[in-house]
Structures are given as structure tokens and as C-alpha cells.
Structure 1
């Protein structure tokens, strides 16, 4: 476990995309839902797929940027493509001010080629060691991203915000995009499906306050044994998770050993993970945007109802916003 450091400057108004020409402003969802300058909560906006905006005080984080439209194609591995079936709530050329990109893994449905071509080369990115090698090492110098911080499982980035006392920590959580065992070993040799991180994001107005908001983003993982470490470190240790963003969809692709292989959680796995992690609220994302997603959101709704968890799940449409407030709950036993 390693602790790393990153300095962000929210006063830098340069656009995230080189296709934008004018300085950017802070994003405010329609309807004036909350005061975005308040540091007592975080504000999440769902854009589509696994792409979200997370705002806390002056800080705005963009997760897994994918801005393709219906009919566009992505490459997911040797001989594997997928077609987008939806459109995002926002276009790449209309991004608001972005301080940091949080990239769970280097896959085109999470970091599409248009995004890769258009993003400013010095925009700060936190990601996996594999993704860093793709963004920095394996490209010509002029095309390299220059501010990429890699985190391995349980590494932590301490993010300092210029002229602000806010306390931000981002920790890489375990995840596996293919089932453990023989298929994982084959995938490691072929390099077909990239390694993935989940994230635990901790936000507070200063290191000395108790107004902390904790968010767990699963990344494109299956329900694996390593995920038991999440409640062991957090929920059962008196450190509640206020919001879990669950990557669902039951993504299904061809496999060298099986006719088809599921590489993200389906509806039942998603509910089982809620029971395991015990977050205050879960929001499903990554569930219907590509034609390789085989587990529709309605399946998850049914499983949530059967499990008696409907009061602890929020379903957001694209463009909708949720405000996350720190809460105090008894330690799970």
C-alpha cells in the first residue's frame, strides 16, 4: 500500500477538451437542486455508461469519460466490438470545468477514442498502472498525457486543492474484469481485457472536520472474494459508505474457453454486493448503453424489490443529479 500526492488548482479554467475554445465554468444541473459551493455534501450527476460528474466544494471529478452516441462502435478486445445504444446527457465539447479524471481502466467504453484524442494532455488523471502505460509509455512524446497518477490496489492518492483546506483521498479498491482462475490466467497472457480498479473517494472540508462523505465506485468488476475487504475496511469498521456506484449490465463477450463470458456484475450480483458492502445508498450505472450489456436495469429493479432494498437504491436517469450527505449509522455487525 502506497500513499501518493496530487495538487489540483480549481482556478485553472482551461477546458478539458482541446476542441473547446473558451474558458469553462462550473457545472450546475438544471433545477437548482443544491448549493454546489457547500462543502457539507457531494453532488453526483449521471451522464451515461460509467460517466459521471462528482462535485464537492470547488472540486469537479469526471469519471470514466465516454461521450459516444447511439450507433457508434467501440473495440473491447481481440475481435470484440460493441455498439452504443444510447446518447450521453452531455457532449464532450460541452464539458464544464474539470479538475480531475478518474479512470477505472483503459477500455473504450470508459475512455473512447474521441475522448482520448481531445483531452488536454496535462489534465490530471488517476488510473490503473496498465492504463498509465497506455496513456504515457506506449505512445509518441507529443501524444503522451503528462499528469497521470497510477494507483495499484489499496494505494491512496492524497489530493491537495490549491488555496483550500479540503481533505480528499482516493483509494484504489480491488476488482476483476474476468472471473478468477484459468480464464484470468489466459486473459493475462492475451491481454484481452484490461485490469480494473474500483475507487473509494473520501471528501471533507478539512482534515480536522467530521463532515466526511465516502463514496465507493465498483468499477467493472465481478462479484469476487476480494470485495469482502471493502466492508472489512469500511462499513464494519465504523467508516460508513454513504454512496455506492455499482457498475452493472452483465456485460457479455466471446471467450476463448466458453461461448460467452460475463465480465461485469449482473442484477443478482449487484444486489449481493449491496448486502455485502452495506452502503447507505446505491446508484446503478453502466447498465444499458451498449449492446453487450445482457442484464437490463429492470432485472436489477426486480432483484432489489425481492431483497427488500428499494429504500436504499436510487435510480438516476441520464442528466439527473443526486446529493450525497454524510450520515451517521451504527457499525454493521
Structure 2
């Protein structure tokens, strides 16, 4: 297993602009908790927009898929494929408090837009796919310098502590399978690379004592992020590998994203409402939060369709819906 130590004292702005960033996120529009809230929440997830979220726990702050373009901006998603952003992020990149690490599911402009690419500080730790690492580290003198790649089911242990106390926080991140396109179209895409390879993530928050090895790490909360994928057979391996391990939260990428355009919807490259419910039934997480559902013009499966499908499947008590600027709070089991 790979290891990465992140200095907890090295709290820097996420961007190259070293003006004074805020120390915290803005006040949430609404804070939500588990339907069976027990009052023990010590971690939170803040929804910025599209697939951009900020996870906070034990003084650690993680950003997923940074995309801070504004309404009316356009992104390039492949040969002849562009999309218009229809919403605004609730904060701008320079308004973000210090970020310890970025989890990037794939190298696409709606995940890592051109303004983010230009403005992020080059030594910010980024965990991503092998393909994306190749892109981020091949920019000559302007390359990112702390990029770590994970393929499917490869893991990395993130150590955020330098003290020697008996109980220290750590995060284990594991690459999960995902594919934008499947079947014959997937085979063709492999050769022409029209859309890039993508990862999901399994994020395990927990504590350890002694040396940071897997046997000393106790997971207190497990988050599965689907990433951009359609319902492919490779996803069936996830519940097999985690058969006896609870998945507390799933962040599911929806939207039914179509290419090359809404007027010519030849391929669906992210889950629509039907596939989203199928993934809930396959993974069986304790709670699911949908993200990535209405931010771009190529998303043709609205959140309302997912809500209806969830209700028809009898799973409404398993889903929490966040609007942009909402926060979801949850608790980590701290027992070693």
C-alpha cells in the first residue's frame, strides 16, 4: 500500500495567489444530518456545485473535483463536444479556505477546469488516475509536483499527524472502478480516447496508533464516491470486496450526461435516474447524497427524475438531498 504524509501545519491557500484566504467555509444555507441523528457529528461535507465538495474532519480539509467556472462559461469534453455551465459555484476558488489535498476523479474540464488548472498552487497534493497524473505532470516548468495516481482497487494511506499520541487521524483512499462508456462504444473509446478514464473512490476516515500500517488503522466512516460512470459490470466487484464492511455514505454522480450534445444524444456517459437507483440497490449504502445533476447543458436527467425513481423503489429514507451551499454533518467512530 502506498503512503503519503501531509504536514498538518502547512496550511496554505489552495491557489497561487497567497493573499489572505478565509479560515473557514461560509455559513451553510442549511445543515442536514442522518435521518436517525444521534448528535455525535464531528465531520461535514459542504456542497459547492457540480461534483465539487469539501470534506472537513479533525482539522483536515479535502476538496473533490474542483470546478469553479460560472454560469455561461463553456467546457471542452471531447472531440466536438462542449457544454455550457448553467449554475454558479457557491464560492470562488480564491474564496476557499486552505485545502490539504484534492481528490480528482478524472482529467476533464468539468472536473478540473482551465481556471482551476491555472490558479492552483503547484505543490498542492492531488490524488487522481494514472491518465490524469500524466497530464498534470507533463506541463514542463508549470507542472504539478505532488500528484499521486491510483488505479482500480489500489490504495493510498494519508497521514495527517506528526505527534506521537496513541490516537491519530488518517484517511485511506482506494480507487474504485468506473467507465464513462461501456460495451462496443467503450472499446472504441479505449482506442480513440474521446473521453478520459475515470475513477470512483472509497474514502475511509479513521484512527491509528503506532506505525501507520493497515492492521493498525481502524476505519470509523466509509464514503464511496461513484465518479462519472455508467452502470458497468465492474461495479459489481465493489460490494463483493466490501461484503462485511459498512458503506456509510455514497456520493453519486448523476445527470444522465449525454454526448455529443443535448440535440444529438448518442451516448449517455453518467448515470441517469434509473441507473442511479440500480447503483443504490447494488452498493446498499446507509445514506446516499446525489451530486453532479444539473450544472451543465449536457445533463438531461434532472434530479426530480431521480427523486421519483427513489420513491418508487421505496428508498426515500436512504437519500439526503443537498442544494448548493448545504452541509451534511456526520459522526466518525473513533474507537481503536
Output the TM-score relative to the length of structure 2.
0.89
Give me the whole-angstrom Cα distance separating, in 1, the residues matched to 2:229 and 2:306: 16
Aligned residues: 315
> What is the DSSP-based 3-state SS (H/G/I as helix, E as strand, rest coil) of the residue aligned with 1:53?
strand
Q: In the alignment, what sits opposite 1:42?
A: 43
Contact 2:129 2:197 in 1 (8 A): yes
The Cα shift of 1:232 comes to 1.1
Provide Cα deviations, 1:185-236, integer angstroms capped at 9, x if missing partner: 21112111000000000001335675611000000011111111111122x2
Q: CA deviation at 1:11?
A: 1.8
Separation in structure 1 between the aligned mates of residue 222 and residue 185 of structure 2, nearest angstrom? 33
* CA deviations over 1:115-142 (Å, ceiling 9, x no partner): 00000000000000000000002x22x2
1:214 to 213, 218, 222: 222
Give the alignment of 1:41-80 within 5 angstroms: 41-80=42-81
1:93-242 equivalent positions in 2, closer than 5 A: 93-137=94-138, 139-140=139-140, 142-163=141-162, 165-179=168-182, 181-206=183-208, 212-234=220-242, 236-237=243-244, 239-242=245-248
CA contact (8 A) 1:20 1:94 kept: no
* Other structure's SS at 2:277 match: helix
For residues 291 and 179 of structure 2, the distance between their equivalents in structure 1, rounded to whole angstroms, comes to: 17
- Measure how far apart 1:24 and its partner are: 5.0
| Contact kept? 1:14, 1:24, Cα under 8 Å | no
Q: Within 2, Cα distance between the matches of 1:24 and 1:12?
A: 15
Distance 2:219 2:153 in 1: 23
Contact 1:243 1:324 survives alignment (8 Å): no
RMSD of aligned residue pairs (Cα, Å)? 2.1
**What is the rounded CA distance, in whole Å, between the counterparts of 1:6 and 1:216 in structure 2?**
20
- Alignment gaps of 5+ in structure 2: 33-38, 210-215
How far apart are the structure 1 equivalents of 2:143 and 2:162? 29
Question: Which residue number corresponds to residue 278 of structure 1?
Answer: 284
- Structure 1, unpaired ranges of 5+: 328-333
2:15 maps to what in 1? 17
Q: Structure 1 residues 259 and 283 mapped into 2: Cα distance closer, same or farther (>3 Å)?
A: closer
TM-score (norm 1): 0.89
CA contact (8 A) 1:20 1:93 kept: no
1:52 counterpart SS class: strand
| Equivalent residue, structure 2, for 1:287 | 293
Equivalent position to 2:328, from 318, 322, 325: 322
Using the TM superposition, name which of 186-195 and 294-303 deviates more. 186-195
Deviations 1:91-111 (A, max 9, x none): 111011100000000000000
